[in-house]
């Protein structure tokens, strides 16, 4: 039994994570649809999953992380037609952008990143199995639907009753659609027959040309890569219904056993109090935030510092607050590393390689307890700041400092903050010669105790956007 607890949507309870095989945890995350750059709301979820994985790792578990790339669906096809480019060209491009963004966020790479278009056969096979069992049926146009009435457990995740499905959302396209000949309005599509709008995007199947429905890819790929480690499945809360519900239906019918034990869902992100939308001009990507002067690590802090099951409200204020708070975390890191003789990169590498602490958390025990209890990051951060305040670094010998450094950096690793990126932001801008010259002149004036000249030069520098920080034996220039 591990000492990590997560909230399971299936049971609506916080449960200890118990892998199905040894200490190996299979974790499947619904990944991006690659038709545009992922926005910060998408990343809120991906970052939570990253912290989840890191936390499991720190707890001593080995995680197999699978995150799919949806590279064929209505949106990707629409985009490719709009741009007049082949589908794979569009999806390749946005996949690369996604990977670059993940890297800048310091996210761990999933060991496996399967793409929908590379698993068409697996998906067709799954449909065939379901057809054979009577769980699916083909329509005259060559589409295949899942027969909802054939799966009595349908709705167990979202707790929707089947009859609510057909009657809810009055006036929605689902209800007045007469395009499909389904047995029941709630039946969902697994194979979509080729339409004119699909262009040259289609595959051959026993039911004719077409393409897989969206829900199918996750079922097929999760089974393929985590067949015997169906532990954690996670995604945004909007996926609970219908996506995950449909995945469960397909998968459990096709293999006759439980499809994933723990379902973990991340709440959405609001921007300035409302839903993010292009129309309101509050639709941000990492690039947008960086252009405003905040490195990805600051954005990471802002996006993860709320509890993952709670809606968070993203604002510019929250970025400023994140930056200041992160500064404190970084300074403690610098100081404790200095006292212990460790180097940050090397220490984090060792932690990543599996040198986890066990129970020896010292003053950081409370923080770890909160983090491992359903990823209560805000509470964990609170404990970290309290702990930091209690440590008198100047009184520590290197051995004691090393203990603090190790436990502290285990938490930093779990939270995934790239503190070096934070430093880099300040140093990134090298001062122009002219500014350096002024600063040097000021330093000389100070040396000769010419305070008037010194203050005058400091003002001049400030006017040009440069802050000067005096040190014991010199000074540092910072852009303001």
Partner RNA sequence: GGCGUGGUAGCCAAGUGGUAAGGCCGAGCUCUGCAAAAGCUCUAUCGCGGGUUCGAUUCCCGCCCACGCCUCCA
Q: Please tell me the count of residues contacting RNA according to CB under 7 A.
A: 69
Question: Does the N-terminal peptide bond of residue 242 adopt cis geometry, omega within 30 degrees of 0?
Answer: yes
Q: Which of 13, 21, 320, 436 binds RNA (CB under 7 A)?
A: 320
Does 300 help bind RNA (rule: CB under 7 A)? Answer: no
* Tokens, residue 473: 């034996």
Residue 76 lies near RNA (rule: CB under 7 A) = no
Q: Is 307 in the site for RNA (CB under 7 A)?
A: yes
Contact 71, 34 (CB under 8 A): yes
Rounded Cα distance, 245 and 239, in Å = 8
Of the candidates 386, 424, 444, 465, which one interacts with RNA according to CB under 7 A? Answer: 386
Residue 315 in contact with RNA, rule: CB under 7 A:
yes
Are residues 217 and 5 in contact, defined by beta-carbon separation less than 8 angstroms?
Answer: no
In this chain, which stretch among 133-141, 144-152, 169-177, 194-202 interacts with RNA, using CB under 7 A?
169-177
Q: Which CB sits closer to RNA, 133 or 167?
A: 167
Of the candidate residues 55, 57, 193, 318, the single one contacting RNA (CB under 7 A) = 318
Closest contact distance (angstroms) between CB of 256 and RNA is: 26
Smaller CB separation from RNA, 24 or 160:
160
254 vs 318, beta carbon nearer RNA:
318
In the stretch 218-237, what mask flags binding to RNA with x, by CB under 7 A? -----------------xxx
> Binding residue for RNA (CB under 7 A) from 145, 412, 454, 466?
454
Q: What is the distance between the alpha carbons of residues 22 and 44, in angstroms, rounded to a whole number? A: 30
Q: Tell me: does residue 266 bind RNA (CB under 7 A).
A: yes
Q: According to the binding rule CB under 7 A, does residue 65 interact with RNA?
A: no
Three-state helix/strand/coil letters over 290-355: HHCCCCHHHHHHHHHCCCCCCCEEECHHHHHHHHHHHHHHHHHHHHHHHHHCCCHHHHHHHHHCCC
Q: How far is the CB of 350 from RNA (least distance, A)?
A: 26
Report the residue number, 151 or 214, with the smaller CB distance to RNA. 214
Residue 452 region by backbone torsions, left for phi larger than 0, else alpha for psi between -120 and 50, else beta:
alpha
By CB under 7 A, tell whether 382 contacts RNA.
Answer: yes
Strand pairing class (274-275; 312-314): unpaired
Give the helix, strand, coil percentages of the chain, each rounded to 5: 50, 15, 35
Distance of closest approach, residue 433 Cβ to RNA, in angstroms: 22
Look at the block and give the residue holding tokens 């600051």.
298
179 contact partners, CB below 8 Å, separation of at least 6: none
Q: What CA–CA distances, in Å, run from 406 to 364, 369, 456?
A: 10, 16, 45
Contact stretch for RNA (CB under 7 A) within 39-47, 97-105, 130-138, 197-205: 39-47
Burial of 365: CB neighbours in 10 Å, binned 0-12, 13-18, 19+ = middle
Beta-ladder partners of 265: 235
C-alpha–C-alpha distance, residues 102 and 109, integer Å: 8
Beta-carbon contacts of residue 152 (< 8 Å; ≥ 6 apart): none
Q: Which of residues 7-36 bind RNA (CB under 7 A)?
A: 30, 32-33
User: 44 or 353, CB closer to RNA?
Assistant: 44
Which positions touch RNA (CB under 7 A)? 30, 32-33, 41-42, 44-45, 74-75, 164-165, 168-170, 172-174, 214, 235-239, 241-243, 266, 268-270, 273-276, 306-307, 310-313, 315, 317-318, 320-321, 324-325, 327-328, 331, 370, 376, 378-379, 381-383, 385-386, 389, 446, 451, 454-455, 458, 467-470
């Amino acid at each position: 039994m591990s000492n990590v607890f997560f909230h399971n949507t299936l049971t609506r309870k916080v449960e200890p994570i118990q892998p199905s095989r040894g200490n190996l945890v299979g974790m499947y995350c619904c990944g991006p649809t690659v038709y545009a750059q992922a926005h910060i709301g998408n990343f809120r979820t991906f970052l939570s999953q990253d912290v989840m994985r890191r936390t499991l790792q720190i707890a001593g578990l080995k995680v197999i992380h699978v995150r799919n790339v949806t590279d064929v669906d209505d949106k990707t096809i629409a985009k490719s037609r709009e741009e007049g480019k082949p589908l794979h060209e569009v999806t390749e491009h946005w996949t690369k952008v996604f990977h670059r963004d993940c890297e800048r966020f310091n996210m761990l790479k999933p060991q496996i990143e399967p793409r929908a278009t590379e698993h068409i056969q697996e998906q067709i096979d799954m449909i065939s199995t379901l057809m054979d069992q009577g769980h699916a049926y083909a329509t005259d146009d060559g589409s295949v639907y899942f027969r909802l009435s054939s799966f009595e457990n349908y709705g167990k995740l979202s707790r929707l009753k089947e009859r609510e499905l057909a009657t809810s959302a009055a006036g929605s396209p689902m209800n007045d659609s007469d395009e499909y000949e389904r047995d029941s309005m709630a039946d969902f599509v697994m194979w979509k027959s080729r339409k004119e709008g699909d262009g040259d995007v289609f595959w051959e199947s026993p039911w004719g040309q077409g393409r897989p429905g969206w829900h199918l890819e996750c079922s097929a790929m999760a089974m393929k890569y985590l067949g015997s480690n169906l532990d954690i499945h996670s995604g945004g809360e909007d996926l609970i219904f219908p996506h995950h519900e449909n995945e469960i239906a397909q998968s459990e019918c096709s293999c006759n056993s439980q499809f994933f034990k723990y379902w973990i869902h991340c709440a959405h992100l609001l921007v300035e109090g409302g839903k993010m939308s292009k129309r309101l001009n509050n639709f941000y990507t990492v690039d947008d935030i960086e252009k405003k002067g905040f490195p990805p690590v600051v954005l990471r802090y802002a996006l993860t510092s709320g509890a993952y099951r709670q809606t968070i409200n993203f604002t510019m204020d929250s970025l400023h607050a994140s930056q200041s708070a992160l500064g404190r975390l970084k300074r403690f890191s610098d100081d404790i590393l200095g006292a212990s003789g460790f180097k940050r990169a090397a220490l984090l590498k060792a932690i990543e390689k599996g040198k986890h602490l066990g129970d020896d958390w010292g003053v950081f025990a409370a923080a770890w307890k909160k983090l491992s209890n359903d990823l209560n990051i805000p509470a964990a951060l609170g404990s970290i700041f309290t702990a930091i305040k209690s440590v008198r670094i100047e009184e520590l010998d290197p051995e004691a400092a090393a203990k603090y450094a190790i436990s502290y950096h285990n938490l930093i690793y779990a939270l995934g903050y790239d503190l070096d990126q934070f430093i880099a932001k300040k140093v990134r801008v090298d001062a122009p010669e002219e500014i350096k010259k002024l600063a040097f002149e000021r330093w000389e004036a100070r040396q000769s105790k010419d305070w008037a000249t010194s203050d005058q030069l400091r003002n001049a520098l400030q006017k040009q956007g440069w802050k000067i920080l005096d040190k014991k034996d010199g000074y540092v220039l910072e852009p303001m």
